Chain A
Amino acid sequence: MFKVNWVIAGLTALVLAGCAGQEIPDPEPTDTTYGDESGASTDGMGGGDPYGGEEIGDPFGGELQMIIYFDFDSSEVRVQDQETVSRHAMELGNNPRTRVRLEGHADERGSREYNIGLGERRSQAVRQMLLVQGVSASQISTVSFGEERPASMGSSESDYAQNRRVEIKYTN
């Protein structure tokens, strides 16, 4: 697990280093009244927010996420993860020689080869989003490990939620 995190962090650093001197454009420009680099902050005031409302995320997303999670029995990329996929699309679009491998995974329930199918459906969902956003098919490969490489070894709902995922791996 530590190793995985480390590798992901390393890859992220690599990806970010790869675009040094070239800012990642905001794919969906946010109203600048609210958005800035630091993002909305709720630091230090205490006692909660008397006006209600919700925090606005950093439009530049902070660290680029390398894992997309999925709901039970679903291969739909969740709304909150579409931004992440778009940033990868941009990264790949800007670096046409860069390649990714999309590794689909499923939770352990049910039969193993069918779960390979479910994992592949998830990696294809991410692939389709990348293709739609202009990434060349030759930059993407997919593989499904089904339930064979769980991120979390237990059998609880939260373990399952961590295991239903697509890992985006930059291969060069």
Chain B
Amino acid sequence: MLNRLKLSLAILVFVAGPGYAELVIDVQGIAQPTPVAIVPFGWQGDAADMPLDVAEVIVNDLRRSGRFAPIPESKMLQKPTNGADLDFQDWSFVGVEAVVVGSVVQEGVNAYTLQFQLFDVFGRRQLVGYRMPASRGTMRGAAHRAADMIYEKLTGIKGVFGTKVAYVTAQQQGQGRLYSLIVSDQDGENEHTIMESTDPIMSPAWSPDSRQLAYVSFEGNRSSIFVQTLRTGNRFKVSSKPGINGAPAFSPDGRKLVVTLGGVDGNLDIHVLDITSRQTRRLTTHRAIDTEGTWSPDGRYVYFTSDRSGGPQVYRVSANGGTPERVTFEGSYNARPRLSPDGSRLAMVHNDRGNYRIAVMDLERKNLLVLSEGRQDESPSFAPNSDILIYATRQGRNGVLETVSADGLIRQKMSEGRGDVREPVWSPFPRY
């Protein structure tokens, strides 16, 4: 991988905060990143330092996107904290295309104002400026939000720095294994274990409002589907029928799950489960394995994996039922479909000459693009801006997470210190 790609940066993400280093992030890309400057933020408050180095959070976000190369502080000829003090000529001389300045002002015991401004060096004008309230607990989120606004202004693509990911880890523990379902910021910060079990946990899925996760748990040596509210930790069992209960995915309106049920005879089919009434409606009836259902963003179709033609391929069926139609034809193995939130592309696990890799198909043009280069890559999930995917790959015996831009040009490895990491799922956009 290193040979093929021109740029490789290793960045340790974290430093502050009560936890420990969670994810080490390694960015690789072939794009020429745009030079920008994020000037250290000013600070007015009763402590010597601001609660969080906001500029550093923004620097890391922009750098990890692969599209920007923030210059080091030592190269800055001036360090203004207010836009009015900016000298465009200095920045033009340094060779950056955009400059961010800002400050944090303490307003009360745990009340702060974060403000930032983004300037276009060549156009000599402000592109965006914003002031927002924050507490110590929300400061990091506010910094990501600032990075999102900066990123969107400069690229035209909505930023995903304020989003979260959920994933499953497995760690050896004595004779057995400990499985954990974890939610963190998309950069690996703020890790929270929301569920732990000595039996496997699988297939986490976000609700469209980001407030709940559905997942499969094998506690008691049987599979059950749970929906858990993140804020409270309360969970309820929504499906525990005889045989397989698996592969949940929320409908766009959040009221239903598409699930896989196997029954006593083990014929896996796609069903729609109403979360409130717990009533199920069967969508497929084939003898083959039908599983890994997912909704189209408009809610009209359910895409799923079926091996009715022999090997696994992606099919879709109307959410109201009917005859499924085959969607993928290229290659002998296409499974675990996920649609981009803009509905234009389909990601899947694709057998590429004996290797299981992440591929994306343009639904209109039907061409397939292989995005990953591992042997055993799995569980692709789109970021809510449809521009990046996260998936699991192997490093030695452990699973690690990677992200890749949907055009395949920018890839990042996020390696977790502990255990085997798998099944990442990207949250929807937060609601500010």
Contact with A along B69-98 (1 / 0, CB 8 A): 000000000000000000000000000000
B128 shortest CB reach to chain A, Å: 41
Known: A109-B356, A110-B335, A112-B202. A143 touches B218 (CB 8 A): yes
**B-side interface size class:** 35 or more
Pairwise interchain contact B266-A114, C-beta atoms closer than 8 A: no
| A130-172 interface bits toward B, Cβ cutoff 8 Å, 1 = contact, 0 = none | 0000000100011111101100011100000000000000000
Known: A143-B218, A145-B200, A153-B397. A111 touches B266 (CB 8 A): no
- Asked whether, in the complex, the Cβ of A108 is within 8 Å of the Cβ of B335, the reply is no
Contact: B349 with A143, CB < 8 Å? no
Q: B218–A116 contact, CB under 8 A?
A: no
- Asked if B247 and A141 sit within 8 Å, CB to CB, the answer is no
> Is A114 within 8 A of B292, CB to CB?
yes
Contacts of A101 in B (CB 8 A): 221
Question: Do A142 and B397 touch (CB < 8 A)?
Answer: no
Assess whether A148 is in contact with B378, with CB atoms less than 8 Å apart.
no
B268 and A3 contacting across the interface, CB-CB below 8 Å:
no
> Is A85 on the interface with B (CB-CB < 8 A)?
no
Q: 1/0 per position for B164-186, CB-CB distance to A under 8 A? A: 00000000000110000000000
Q: Is the CB of B175 within 8 A of A121?
A: no
CB distance from B260 to the nearest CB of A (A): 7
Task: Scan A95-110; emit 1 where CB is below 8 A from any B CB, else 0.
Answer: 0000001010000111
Interface residue total, chain A, C-beta cutoff 8 A: 32
> Shortest Cβ distance from A138 into chain B, in angstroms?
10
Pairs across A and B, CB under 8 Å, 27 listed:
A2-B175, A101-B221, A109-B356, A110-B312, A111-B292, A111-B336, A111-B378, A112-B378, A112-B379, A112-B423, A113-B260, A114-B289, A114-B291, A114-B307, A114-B336, A116-B260, A117-B260, A117-B307, A121-B266, A127-B266, A137-B264, A141-B242, A143-B221, A144-B244, A144-B262, A148-B218, A155-B375
Contact residues in A for B203 (Cβ distance below 8 Å): 112-113
Q: Is the CB of A120 within 8 A of B335?
A: no
How would you classify the secondary structure of chain A's contact residues: helix, strand, loop or mixed? mixed
- Asked if A120 and B242 make an inter-chain contact with CB atoms under 8 angstroms apart, the answer reads no
* In the assembled complex, A118 has its CB within 8 A of some CB on chain B: yes
Quick check: B262 and A155 within 8 Å, CB to CB? no
How long is the Cα–Cα vector from A81 to B136 in the complex, in angstroms? 63
Please, which residues of chain B bring their CB within 8 A of the CB of A127?
A: 266
Closest to B264 in A: A137
| B243, CB-defined interface residue at 8 Å | yes
A123 to B335, CA, bound (A): 22
Residue of B nearest to A101 (CB): B221
Instruction: Decide yes or no: A116 and B265 within 8 Å by CB, A110-B333, A154-B397 being known contacts.
Output: no
**Residues of B contacting A116 in the complex (Cβ-Cβ under 8 angstroms):** 202, 223, 244, 246-247, 260, 268, 291
